[in-house]
Structure formats: C-alpha cells, structure tokens
Amino acid sequence: MNQFESRIISWCASLLGLSAVIIIHEFGHLVAAKCFGIAVPLFSIGFGPAITSVTIGSTLYQIALFPLGGFVAIDPQTLNDAPYAVSLTIMLAGVLSNMLFAYVVITGLAWWQRHHPEHPGFVARHKALIEKSKQTFRKDETPRGSFVGPLGIFSIIAQSFNAGYIPYLFVIATISMGVGIFNLLPIPPLDGGKILLLTLNAIAGPLSAQTINLIQMAGFIVFLFIIFTAMRSDISRSAS
C-alpha cells in the first residue's frame, strides 16, 4: 500500500469515527423522544438527498448522500408543549449517549488489557500508543488559547488509526466525550442553547418569536466564531 492509499484509508477512518460519534448523539435524542411519545418525523444518517429510506411507525429512517454524521428531526411544537422535565431529558439524551459510549469503549479497552496478560509486549505497546494519544488533548500540546477544530479532530483520528485499533477506539471515545461536553454550551444551535430556551420558556413563560430569533441569531454568531477560531488554529498548526 503506497502513502496516498494509506492516507485515503486513514481519512476515511476519520470520517467514519466522527460520523459514528455524531450518529450516537442523535440516536440518543431519537430514543428519548420515542420513549416520551414525542413525534420524530425523520432520522437521517448523513446529509443531503436520501440514498435509501424506510418508514417505521411515524419516523422516516434514511441514509443520505453525504456521510458526515446525521441528524434527528423532532417536532418542535410537540417538544415545546411537553413538560419541561421531558423536554430537558430529550435534549440531554444526546450528551448522555456520547458519555455512555465513551464509558463502554474505555471500559472495554481496560477490560481487554486486564484479561490478556499473555501478551505483555502487545499490551505495553498499545498502552504507550494510548498515552501518546492522550498527549494530543493536553493543553501544552497546542498554543495557549487555541482550539482543536474539525480539521484537527480529523487529523487526530487519522493518526490514531495509523497507530492501531486500540488508540483509534480510545481517541473516538475521547472525542465522543468532547462532543457531549461541547453540546452543553448554552448557545444555539447546540443542545445547550435549546436547553437555555426551554428553561427561559419554563421560567418566564412563552417567549416571543422576536426574542427567540434574537437569541438564536446571537448564538449562531458565537457558534460561527468558535468554529472559525478553531479552524484557524488547525490551519496554523498544520503550517507550523
């Protein structure tokens, strides 16, 4: 396998890993909404035109053309009309799914290493690779005040894939935790922003459309600023 083919496979593994993290997050919302009887018109793996789809109950499940993550479409009016505790649980379900996935993967890796002492060299090698993967997420590995954006995350996953499946799974689990925590930021369009709107609505009563639009616009600007700053940091690290 030449270097070009190896790089293509690594980046495909990055796309697969990051998509899995996002799909797990959205699946958490889906399951929670279904449990509470909230209408879910669509659950999509990927974005864009549907390649194939099937309707189960009241939900259309589809695989779309562009395989970067996915999304769940929850009826906003039904969600707003639901009790606050129900809506809050549905919004938190994505984060909890990411955390549960990370816990299962890391626990599984620890169990495997603990129950395979007959391969000490193999285990020690992968422990070292996992430790190397951890270094990537330490603050002293990047300039102060910088972020790891989409390009940086893809690069991290690709490097871990080249190191072996154990570092790859560990990094995917770590990113899953990061995605969960990031989604708690109280800015639309993240889950934290939706929780903020639900909380304000529960405390102060129904918000006007103008107020909601203002909050969403401000949150979207902040969100774009974070993404822009992170991508600029990614480019700067790549150029250095």
Q: Which two tokens stand for residue 86?
A: 């129900």
| Per-residue confidence (pLDDT) for residue 42, from 0 to 100 | 94
Whether 168 is covered by a domain: the verdict is yes
| Per-residue confidence (pLDDT) for residue 139, from 0 to 100 | 43
Distance between CA 102 and CA 95 in Å, rounded?
A: 11
Our CA dihedral for 51, 55, 59, 62, rounded to 10 degrees, sits at -10
Residue pLDDT, tens place only, 96-140: 999 999 999 999 988 887 877 655 545 555 555 556 555 555 544
Residue 189: cis peptide before it, omega within 30 degrees of 0 = yes
Instruction: Give percent of the chain above pLDDT 90.
Output: 42
Q: Over 80: is that where the pLDDT of 90 sits?
A: yes
In 3D space, the residue among 183, 179, 200, 201 whose CA is nearest the CA of residue 192 turns out to be 183
Q: Which two tokens stand for residue 129?
A: 């690779």
> Distance from CA of residue 170 to its chain's centroid?
15
144-182: b (≥16 Cβ within 10 Å) or e? eebebbeebbbbbbbbbbebeebbbbbbbbbbbbbbbee
Whether 124 is covered by a domain: the verdict is yes
Q: Which residues pair with 66 in a beta bridge?
A: 47
- For the chain, give the mean pLDDT: 84
Sign, Cα dihedral of 185, 191, 197, 199? negative
In degrees rounded to 5, what are phi and psi of residue 64?
A: -100, 175
Count Cα atoms within 13 angstroms, Cβ side, for 159.
14
Mean pLDDT confidence for 169-182: 92
Q: Over 70: is that where the pLDDT of 19 sits?
A: yes
| Per-residue confidence (pLDDT) for residue 153, from 0 to 100 | 84
At 93, the pLDDT band (50, 70, 90 cuts) reads very high
At 34, the pLDDT band (50, 70, 90 cuts) reads very high
What type of residue sits at position 4?
F
Q: Over 90: is that where the pLDDT of 27 sits?
A: yes
Q: Report whether 174 contacts 166 (CB < 8 A).
A: no
Q: Over 50: is that where the pLDDT of 144 sits?
A: no
Whether 6 is covered by a domain: the verdict is no
Whether 1 is covered by a domain: the verdict is no
Whether 52 is covered by a domain: the verdict is no
Whether 29 is covered by a domain: the verdict is no
At 51, the pLDDT band (50, 70, 90 cuts) reads very high
Range of the domain at 107: 83-239
Whether 10 is covered by a domain: the verdict is no
- DSSP H helices, the chain, are 3-35, 76-81, 84-114, 120-136, 150-163, 165-182, 191-204, 209-239
Question: In terms of pLDDT, which residue wins out, 18 or 240?
Answer: 18
Distance between CA 203 and CA 108 in Å, rounded?
A: 42
| Per-residue confidence (pLDDT) for residue 141, from 0 to 100 | 46
Q: Which two tokens stand for residue 91?
A: 């919004």
Whether 43 is covered by a domain: the verdict is no
Q: Over 80: is that where the pLDDT of 57 sits?
A: yes
What's the total number of domains in the chain?
A: 1
| Per-residue confidence (pLDDT) for residue 117, from 0 to 100 | 63
Q: Over 90: is that where the pLDDT of 228 sits?
A: no
